[in-house]
Amino acid sequence: MDMPSLGSASLVRQLGRWRGEDSSEAAYRQLARALRLLILDGRIGIGVRLPGERELAQALGLSRTTLAGAYNQLRDDGYLVSRQGSGSVTRIPGSRMAPAEPEEGGESNNILDWTSAALPAPESLWHAYEDALHQLPAWLGGMGYEALGIPRLRQAIADDYARRGCPTRPEQIMVTSGAQHGFALIQRLLAGPGDRVVVDHPTYHNALTAIRRSNCVPVPVGLPGTGWDIDAFSAAFRQTGPRFAYVIADFHNPTGRCMDVAARQALVDIAERTRTPLVVDETMADISLDQDAPPPVAVHDRAGTNVISLGSASKRFWGGLRIGWIRADEQMIASLGRIRVTLDLATPVMEQLATAALLQSDAGAQERRAMLIARRDRLVALLGAHLPHWHVPVPPGGMSLWVEMPRPEASALAAMAQGEGVRIAPGPRFGLDGAFERFVRLPFTLPEDRLEAAVERLAAVDARLHRRMPRAADEAVWALEADRVI
């Protein structure tokens, strides 16, 4: 795939009135400053080829000498790099290179994507699909639209809850196309524009995005050094009157911590008293490493109507399955089913049959656990060796480290890391209003050799970040660029 280019007409429109009429400053400096601002605020992306000097000079009505002076200023400041045959390409100061050109059919092999906490498919997945293929003929005579999910999978999910200590009937289960789909259905049922939704803070970034895109108002409850602040949840429920609360109790994303039994009971008690539905994200519940998760939060729901649980096959088996589920009381499941038919009719039968087979056997669970422990411990050791000034708590489960840096510069680090060939997720992705600039989330799902390469690249970026921070860039600008590159 070719490197993206920006035409001179488009660039002239973006520049607008870049030249100050009364300014005595040289024209090339004014133009360089205007172009730099377009790069920093994301209107010109990183790795974009700018028009040639002669072409842009004609479009702007400038001499080629003036245009060359502006480009040279940008090169000196680190915002442009020239390549033979590629022209002038935008970049971020402090990186050794412009982002590598993507190859045909995907991104460059030089780019190491360290933003996703997910594993490749296990060997057992193939056998699960073989089993599903044998089961499929029984479904081919019907329409294949099962809004609540096929009975076999609903039973398998209910049995899995029972195994975890939470007796469940199949009628309490609705199968969805992933946990994110389930969350969208719940939000559509419980909340509308302007309604408040309490969240633990930090939290899963896609949930935050879904809340805000629905024009709801997220109300953050900060996580203390350890555990959850139940008193703060109580105050938020009483003072803000939320339509529901979204909580990740099992190997929390991104911190990896796990809510203990006492806190689960207390949280449900508070929710009952304030009549606040609890939406509990359990997508990480089975990703235990040093300890198993306690029984589901729903165990403490005496009325059986206050806790709505979200599960998924994506982390436990494979993201490509796109199978999730909701556990709730039967009346809510029926209400969610009525909403669903207005959006999509059902989840694919083949994937449901395969997931049922996986849940009933879960072959390879111990191997997956041992592999994740080895990768987690290797990543902790690498960070200790290459970035000893970072604080690296070791989570008891999940797939990521929530690493604290000495200074609030996560967005700058993420933006500059793109130039080093590695993408990371800075802390502000998991919070509101620019919070968590001292944190980065680093998954340990990559193979160990790639973890080593990623840490080495990140350490190099960290060193350059402290040698040279662009004077023109503030935290908001870096946050915009970090969000763009990941």
**pLDDT tens per residue, range 185-227:** 999 999 999 999 999 999 999 999 999 999 999 999 999 999 9
For residue 49, the cross-strand partners are 5, 89
Say if residue 332 is in the same domain as residue 435: no
Both 373 and 343 in one domain: the answer is no
Closest by CA to 253, choosing from 391, 443, 98, 109, is: 443
Name the domain boundary from 328, 345, 361: 361
Single pTM value for the model: 0.76
| Neighbour-count burial of 140, counting CB atoms closer than 10 A to its CB (0-12 exposed, 13-18 middle, 19+ buried) | exposed
Domain co-membership, 223 together with 184 = yes
pLDDT of residue 468: 54
Q: Do 116 and 163 sit in the same domain of this protein?
A: no
Residues 140 and 225 in one domain: yes
Residue 1 resides in a domain: no
Low-confidence ranges of the chain (pLDDT < 50): 1, 96-108, 470-473
73 alpha carbon, distance to own chain's centre: 36
Number of domains forming the structure of the chain: 3
DSSP one-letter code for 238: H
203 and 331 both lie in a single domain: yes
Question: Does 105 reside within a domain?
Answer: no
**In a domain? residue 103:** no
Residue 200 lies inside a defined structural domain of this protein? yes
Q: Do 70 and 25 meet the contact criterion of CB atoms below 8 Å apart?
A: no
Judge whether 96 lies within some domain: no
Q: Which domain holds residue 467?
A: 112-121+365-485
Is 246 inside a domain boundary? yes
Is residue 104 assigned to a domain? no
Domain end: 315, 341, 361, which one?
361
152-190: pLDDT as tens digits: 999 999 999 999 999 999 999 999 999 999 999 999 999
Contact of 381 with 57, CB cutoff 8 Å: no
Cα gap 66→31, rounded to integer Å: 9
